[in-house]
Amino acid sequence: MKRLQGTPRIDGFRMPGEFEQHKGTYMIWPERPDNWRLGAKPAQRVFAEVATAISEFEPITVCVSADQFANARQMLPAEVRVVEMSSNDAWVRDCGPSFVTNGKELRGIDWRFNAWGGLVDGLYFPWDKDDAVAQKICELEDADSYRTGGFVLEGGSIHTDGDGTAVVTEECLLSEGRNPHFSKEQIEDMLCNYLNVEKVIWLRRGIYLDETNGHVDNIFCFARPGEALLAWCEDESDPQYEISAENLKILENETDARGRKIKVHKLVLPTPVLITEEESGGVDAIEGTLPRNVGDRLAASYVNFYLVNGGVIFPMFGDKNDERARKTLEKVFPDRRVVGIYAREILLGGGNIHCITQQVPSGGR
């Protein structure tokens, strides 16, 4: 497949909203023992549950290393397509392509990936295999791609309504480890040209202590144009309270690209989730990888749900707010089946269901 010059905007391609119809979903199989406890066995069981749940709604492909291929194949149902692909870890939202379409043809944006901050504050080294994932998925999808040169970005750090608006956080996109030579205006230009949006809404910060430097996909999500969910904290003594309140204020004072006020639904967070001694003890310590220490607070959020055709797959934490989250999602998405998956094992690796999925929109050739 070709590498394209120019930009999606010039070529008339746009990034759809996740709530739009999908052709399918990609995931990557977890295996590295310095991020996933107990040789990634508990995480693999949850990844298999997520893939199985997605397969009930739309086609799904799981990318797996050569070493893990046989194991993944036997853990996943036959409906799930399994392909061999190398990677450094399992976060396809971030290293996979962001797809754009003109309604007839699909193309990918292959951002440069540097493990959430490169040598400044990245989460592991090296990341070269991850950086090659987007082009490989584009090959499987028969999609030409735009390579963004030195511009670093992860799919979880952007969110669009498919109708001219993108939402990001300053904490992430202005972080030192990504594009320190770009001004805020230059970053905004890149987003407008590659996602083909006219307006970028800048939230301030993401979820408290999110190791991605505050990815937007853990705190904010469009349900449809003009309507969104925001991760919400009710405990005024918690540092998250101020972060969520600040973002709400920004959203209340904004309009989207079409001039609409955005209706915001509060999705109340679980009570803080901390790493236990047993969980910490199961992770191999390797220099250069973020350690998993006892008592560390994880960036748990129900906003890390994934929208599939006709469904919503959301993470549960065994928390009193799990059922409350389900009710909020059922209210906001009355036409979708809401499926909860106990996802603490994904959280222990540093993300959740949205971070381990990447959609291929419909509208490809």
Q: How far is the CB of 272 from ligand KQY (least distance, A)?
A: 17
CB atoms under 10 Å from CB of 4, counted, come to 18
Binding to ligand KQY by CB under 6 A, coded x per residue (else -) over 275-294, reads ---------------x----
Instruction: Between 35 and 358, name the residue whose CB sits nearer to ligand KQY.
Output: 35
Active-site hit among 192, 221, 233, 355: 355
Q: Which is nearer to ligand KQY, 199 or 215 (CB)?
A: 215
Q: Of 146-165, which residues contact ligand KQY (CB under 6 A)?
A: 156
Judged by CB under 6 A, the residue of 179, 212, 247, 321 near ligand KQY is 212
Residues 10-39 that bind ligand KQY (CB under 6 A): 35
User: 207 in helix, strand or coil?
Assistant: coil
Cis peptide before 126 (omega within 30 of 0): yes
Question: Are the CB atoms for 336 and 312 separated by under 8 Å?
Answer: yes
For tokens 């290293």, the residue is 95
Contacts (CB under 6 A) with ligand KQY, residues 90-149: 91, 93-94, 123
Q: Tokens in use for 90?
A: 């399992």
Report DSSP letters for 23-61, one per residue: EEEEEE----TTTSTGGGHHHHHHHHHHHHHHHTTS-EE
Task: Tell me which residues in 215-254 interact with ligand KQY (CB under 6 A).
Answer: 215
Answer yes or no whether residue 211 interacts with ligand KQY by CB under 6 A.
yes
User: CB of residue 252 vs ligand KQY: minimum separation in angstroms?
Assistant: 27
Order of strands, sheet of 165-169, starting from the edge strand that comes earlier in the sequence: 159-160, 165-169, 199-203
Q: Smaller CB distance to ligand KQY: residue 37 or 215?
A: 215
Alpha-helical runs (H) found in 217-319: 239-252, 277-281
- Least gap, CB of 2 to ligand KQY (angstroms): 29
Q: Is 95 annotated as catalytic? A: no
Angle at CA of residue 353, ends 245 and 255, nearest 5°: 35
CB of 239 to ligand KQY, least distance (A): 19
Binding characters for ligand KQY, 333-362, by CB under 6 A (x = yes)? ----------------xxx---x-------
Taken in order 180, 134, 132, 346, the sign of the CA dihedral is positive
Residue 314, phi then psi, degrees to nearest 5: -125, 150
CB of 122 to ligand KQY, least distance (A): 9
Q: Which stretch binds ligand KQY (CB under 6 A): 66-74, 89-97, 173-181, 251-259?
A: 89-97
Query: Which residue lies nearer to ligand KQY by CB, 1 or 174?
Result: 174
Closest CA to 93 of 364, 349, 365, 363: 349
168: contact with ligand KQY by CB under 6 A: no
Contacting range for ligand KQY; rule: CB under 6 A; set: 44-52, 163-171, 208-216, 220-228: 208-216
Q: Cβ 347 to ligand KQY, closest distance in Å?
A: 9
User: Distance from first CA to last CA of the chain, Å, rounded?
Assistant: 13
Are the C-beta atoms of 228 and 262 separated by less than 8 Å?
yes
Q: What minimum distance in Å lies between the beta carbon of 357 and ligand KQY?
A: 11
Q: Taking a C-beta distance cutoff of 8 angstroms, is the pair 139, 173 a contact?
A: no
Pick from 321, 304, 335: which is nearest to 50 by CA? 304
* Residues contributing to the site for ligand KQY (CB under 6 A): 35, 91, 93-94, 123, 156, 211-212, 215, 290, 349-351, 355
Catalytic positions are 355
